[in-house]
């Protein structure tokens, strides 16, 4: 494995760009190949067998055809369904996944009530069940909302649908705020959702904090690359190649919009304390 080889990052579509933004800012010397499986998005409502098959095919392509030295699965749904299979297939390779940032959410909450917004696939997964069981104590309530259609609406940049779905799903969370019995922290458990944060925040009103996963995934990737002596020095220049299995137009438009202004991904209209990040799997 060569230090100069690229790092492969993939998602069902544009969502993983929210992770890529953090990766690029932490690892400016690395070359990244981002693969959006646009032709098969969204993954979240498709069932495990489909997601496992797509994840293995995309990873295979990144490893065999593009010679990546590491893989970042920038998709909660694919991580939940298939990361163990990737680690079995490439045991020596640094492989990083994402999972809903429940740990920092539970550390942040003052009411003891947190919510996780994610795809149906992520919430139904064994991995997520184990995470909740491991982290949530008797004093905690974890509400989950499967946000059908939201990743797809973000993928299509369909602003009206994104706004309407954000309102609907925030309502489904139940009472929000910092009083007893109210949810005060909401986990964005899908990498697409940071791109809807402005609508989620508007729907939620004040007193609610959102957590997502870009930063800790970037940190974990940096750690694994350094441990494997595969990290590139910052002054090597880095680079980015965008690939898509479908019409690449959406991906390029989203990358233009989100990668040039990653600070908007991180802190749009936040109320209360600053957003915290976690969720490397």
Catalytically active residues are 75, 190
The two tokens of residue 180 are 């007893």
**Nearest residue to ligand DGL, by Cβ distance, number only:** 44
Q: Would you call the peptide bond into 42 cis, given omega within 30 degrees of 0 as the criterion?
A: yes
225-254 positions binding ligand DGL, by CB under 6 A: none
75 binds ligand DGL (CB under 6 A): yes
Minimum distance from CB of 132 to ligand DGL (Å)? Answer: 16
Scanning residues 149 to 208, which ones bind ligand DGL (CB under 6 A)? 151, 190-192
| Whole-angstrom distance, CA of residue 222 vs CA of residue 219 | 5
**Residue among 77 and 111 whose Cβ is closer to ligand DGL:** 77
Residue of the chain from 6, 8, 9, 11 that contacts ligand DGL (CB under 6 A): 11
- Between CA 79 and CA 101 the distance in angstroms is 13
CB of 1 to ligand DGL, least distance (A): 27
Shortest reach from residue 192's CB to ligand DGL, in Å: 4
Measured CA distances, 64 to 37, 60, 114, 126, 259 (Å): 17, 6, 41, 29, 27
Q: Which of 6, 8, 44, 216 binds ligand DGL (CB under 6 A)?
A: 44
CA-nearest of 107, 57, 98 to 79 is 98
Please, which residues have CB within 8 angstroms of residue 200's CB and are 6 or more apart in sequence?
117, 166, 170, 186, 188, 193, 210
Asked whether position 122 contacts ligand DGL by CB under 6 A, the answer is yes
From the CB of 245, what's the least distance to ligand DGL, in Å? 13
Q: Are residues 68 and 31 in contact, defined by beta-carbon separation less than 8 angstroms?
A: no
Q: In angstroms, rounded to a whole number, what is the distance separating the alpha carbons of residues 160 and 86? A: 37
Q: Is 41 in the site for ligand DGL (CB under 6 A)?
A: yes
Contact footprint for ligand DGL (CB under 6 A):
11-12, 15, 41-44, 75-77, 119, 122, 151, 190-192
């Amino acid at each position: 494995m060569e230090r100069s080889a690229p790092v492969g990052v993939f998602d069902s579509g544009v969502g993983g760009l929210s992770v890529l933004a953090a990766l690029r800012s932490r690892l400016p010397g690395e070359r990244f190949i981002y693969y959006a499986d646009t032709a098969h998005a969204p993954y979240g409502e498709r069932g495990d067998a489909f997601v496992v098959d797509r994840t293995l095919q995309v990873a295979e392509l990144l490893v065999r055809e593009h010679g990546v030295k590491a893989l970042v699965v920038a998709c909660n749904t694919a991580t939940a369904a298939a990361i163990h299979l990737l680690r079995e297939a490439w045991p020596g390779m640094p492989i990083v996944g994402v999972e809903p940032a429940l740990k920092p959410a539970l550390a942040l909450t003052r009411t003891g009530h947190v919510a996780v917004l994610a795809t149906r696939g992520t919430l139904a997964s064994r991995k997520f069940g184990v995470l909740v069981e491991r982290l949530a104590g008797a004093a905690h309530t974890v509400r989950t909302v499967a946000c059908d259609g939201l990743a797809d609406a973000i993928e299509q940049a369909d602003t009206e649908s994104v706004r309407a779905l954000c309102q609907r799903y925030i309502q489904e969370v139940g009472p929000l705020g910092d009083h007893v019995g109210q949810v005060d922290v909401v986990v964005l458990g899908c990498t697409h959702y940071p791109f809807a944060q402005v609508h989620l925040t508007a729907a939620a009103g004040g007193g609610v904090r959102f957590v997502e996963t870009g930063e800790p995934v970037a940190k974990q990737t940096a750690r694994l690359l350094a441990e494997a002596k595969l990290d590139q020095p910052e002054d090597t220049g880095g680079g980015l190649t965008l690939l898509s299995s479908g019409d690449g137009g959406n991906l390029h438009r989203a990358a233009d919009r989100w990668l040039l202004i990653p600070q908007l991904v991180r802190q749009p209209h936040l109320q209360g304390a600053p957003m915290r990040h976690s969720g490397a799997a």
